[in-house]
Amino acid sequence: MKYSLRWKLLGSFMLLIAILLGSVLFGISVVVKDHTRLARQAELETKGLKLANTMKAIYADKGKFVDLDDILDDADSYLGARVWLVDAQCHIVNVSQTNVGPGQGRGMGMMRGQNAGMGMMRGMNHNQQHDAMHTDGIEQNQMQSCLPDIQDVVDKALKQGESSAKLYSSRYYGQQMLVVATPIILDNGQKIGTVLLQEPYSSIETYMKDVYYYLLVAGIIAMLVALVLAYWLTQHIVHPLTAMEKAATEMAQGEYGQHLPVESQDEIGRLSKALNSLAVDLQNYINNIEGQEKLRRDFVANVSHELRTPLTILRGYDEALLTGVADTPEERHEYCVLMQEEIMRLERLIADLLDLSRLQGSGAGKALMEKEKLSLEDLAAGLLHKMQQPALKKNINLSLQKQMPSPVIWGNGDRIMQMLLIFVDNAIKYTQVGGQVTVTTLQEGNRAKVIIADNGQGIAKEDLPYVWERFYKAEKSHSRTDKGTGLGLSIAKEILTLHNGQAEITSEVGKGTTITVSFEQYIPQKQEK
């Protein structure tokens, strides 16, 4: 199971998805956190500017900071931020009153601080407040001691004349705070102080916990969906591969009748097609080997039969002569003539076998043939001259018909003549006395053709597919009476193959047979290279 491709793919997919999803969620959390902080900072800057304008108006009207308690407390409650008012010398003038003391901090909601010392300062004038803050004990000292931590923000705000902010660890509040300093600037440009808005950073972290929770839930859901999709995808990939493995195993065991379903046009689909094609090719190859083996066995059997028969006859006649059965000169002469015929039959059979072997010898026949430009009309004329005497013996009318233009081919003249002689010899042999055999030459398109037609006994429909096979004789009654070996049409077929020719036989019992032989037309530029 641990070596299964399915689980390897599934594990790889899930690991990759987990890494990518974790990276995305981490990036989202960082962006959300920064965005939240910046949004809160921008809000505090806006509110700080409004509060600074309020302080400016009060100072411009009264000449000092007075009656600020309610204003600062309301701002504290509204913003959820601590409000400190600092003068130009960075002395605390006033602060919002809260319910929570130093070091206790709170979230986004109201955080009421306690500052007894600051309560004592309310209602005092500026100088009295300043003196009180230096004499009011530990609380005032703690608050004032925090100012150096944010001195840079205050100085920057006063120097640039605009809000400045930063995160810092507050010793007074005992936690990390977001502070925004907004300068208070009179119309004449005088900078009289700074409004400090301080918010616990824990409020943002509390908000981010909710964000993390929802991101985690979304991540788990995404992982579950990804797991289902990854499992389906790996199943979709592995299932056809499993089927291919099974098919390949069965083919290795000799079962070639396999057909895999092609469910896609991708690489796996093309591989399925290739395996299907391989199975068909292997089946054809095996069938061809089996067919060749059958032909070999049949050929050996036929050759053995063809050799055994004349040898048996020769042996019988020889024994008759040796034992004196043929005791008259006439009988001995008759036996000698019969023995001579059988010897000639053996010679023809051996010659045809050797000829067929040379033609089939792994292309050797084609390599040994010298080719030249040939006129089919001239070959046909020579053919009729050679076969005129056998035709006259049976009173058969052997004629030649020519059609213009005269067809020309590229081939070996001796072999083409040998093939045509086989066809015409068979036509004369199986045509009754007084019959007709016609040889026609013509050109159709880019094909040169020779047609041999007779009105003889014809070939039965069921025998037509087998006439090219070695030793096959459609007319069984002529097995011994004729002089054929049963190899003529096989030799003719090999000659045709070596010339890239084609042959078609049509026949009807009692009406005759027509053989149409066609070759590629002679093309000098192509065939004389």
pLDDT tens, position by position, 342-381: 788 788 778 777 777 777 664 544 545 688 999 999 999 9
Higher pLDDT, 118 or 464: 464
Question: 21 lies in a domain?
Answer: yes
Q: Tell me, what's the pLDDT at 123?
A: 42
Q: Same domain, yes or no, for 92 and 11?
A: yes
Over 90: is that where the pLDDT of 506 sits? yes
Tell whether 50 and 185 lie within a shared domain: yes
User: Do 294 and 352 belong together in one domain?
Assistant: yes
**Model confidence band, residue 140 (pLDDT cutoffs 50, 70, 90):** low
d(CA 56, CA 1): 78
pLDDT at 112 over 70: no
Model confidence band, residue 12 (pLDDT cutoffs 50, 70, 90): confident
Average pLDDT of the chain, as a whole number: 79
* pLDDT at residue 57 is higher than 80: yes
Most confident of 290-294, 458-462, 521-525: 458-462
- Whether the CB-CB separation of 409 and 519 falls below 8 Å is answered with yes
Q: How many CB atoms lie within 10 A of CB 265?
A: 9
Give the structural domain span for 327: 267-360
Does residue 112 contact residue 99 with C-beta atoms inside 8 Å? yes
Rounded to whole angstroms, how far apart are CA atoms 12 and 109?
A: 46
Does a structural domain hold residue 262? Answer: no
Selected residue with higher pLDDT from 135 and 173: 173
* Distance from the Cα of residue 77 to its chain's centroid: 66
Q: How many domains does the chain have?
A: 3
Contacts of 309 (CB under 8 A, 6+ apart): 480
Average confidence (pLDDT) over 497-515: 92
- pLDDT(290) > 50: yes
Both 69 and 205 in a single domain?
yes
CATH number at residue 168: 3.30.450.20
- The answer as to whether 244 is a domain residue is no
Q: What is the mean pLDDT of residues 151-163?
A: 89
In a domain, 418, yes or no: yes
Q: Identify the pLDDT of residue 362.
A: 45
pLDDT tier at 135, thresholds 50, 70, 90: very low
The reported pLDDT for the residue numbered 62 is: 85
Residue 248 lies inside a defined structural domain of this protein: no
Same domain, 154 and 24: yes
CATH number at residue 461: 3.30.565.10
38 lies in the same domain as 148: yes
Question: So what's the pLDDT on residue 475?
Answer: 57
Q: Residue 411 in 3-state DSSP?
A: strand
Q: Which tokens go with 82?
A: 């601590």
Q: Which residues pair with 113 in a beta bridge?
A: 100
**Is residue 230 scored above 70 in pLDDT?**
yes
Average pLDDT over residues 149-174: 87
In terms of phi and psi (left: phi > 0; alpha: psi -120 to 50; beta: otherwise), the region of 519 is beta
According to DSSP, the residues that pair with 181 across neighbouring strands are 164, 196
Listed in sequence order, the residues at least 6 apart from 83 whose beta carbon sits closer than 8 Å to its beta carbon are 51, 72, 75, 76, 95, 96, 195, 196, 197, 198
The predicted-structure confidence for 173-205, as pLDDT tens digits, reads as follows: 888 889 999 999 998 888 899 999 988 888 777
More confident: 264 or 420: 420
Give the CA dihedral 102, 104, 110, 116, nearest 10 degrees.
Answer: -30
Cβ neighbours, 10 Å, residue 363: 9
- 360, 393, 422 — which closes off a domain? 360
Q: What is the mean pLDDT of residues 129-147?
A: 52
Name the domain boundary from 209, 233, 253.
209
426 shares a domain with 352: no
Q: Which CATH number does the domain housing residue 347 bear?
A: 1.10.287.130
pLDDT at 329 over 60: yes
Condensed to tens digits (0 to 9), the pLDDT of residues 65-99 reads 888 888 888 888 888 888 999 888 888 888 887 64
Residues 155 and 303 in one domain: no
Reading phi first (left if > 0) and then psi (alpha if -120 to 50, else beta), residue 277 is in alpha
pLDDT (tens digit per residue) in 296-325: 777 777 777 667 777 887 888 788 888 877
Tell me, yes or no, whether 484 lies in a domain. yes
Q: Which of 98-102, 126-130, 143-147 has maximum average pLDDT?
A: 143-147
Residues 389, 309 share a domain: no
Q: What is the pLDDT of residue 399?
A: 94
Give the best-scoring range by mean pLDDT among 15-24, 166-175, 415-424. Answer: 415-424
Same domain? For 286 and 146 the reply is no
469 and 335 in a common domain? no
Kindly state whether residues 115 and 33 are assigned to the same domain: yes
Instruction: Tell me the three state secondary structure of residue 182.
Output: strand
Domain assignment present for 179: yes
Q: Which of 191, 209, 227 is the last residue of a domain?
A: 209
Write down the pLDDT at residue 128: 44
Collapsing DSSP to helix, strand or coil, 448 comes out as strand
Does 255 fall in a domain?
no
Pairing type for strands 82-87 and 191-200 reads antiparallel
Is-cis flag, bond preceding 405, omega within 30?
Answer: yes
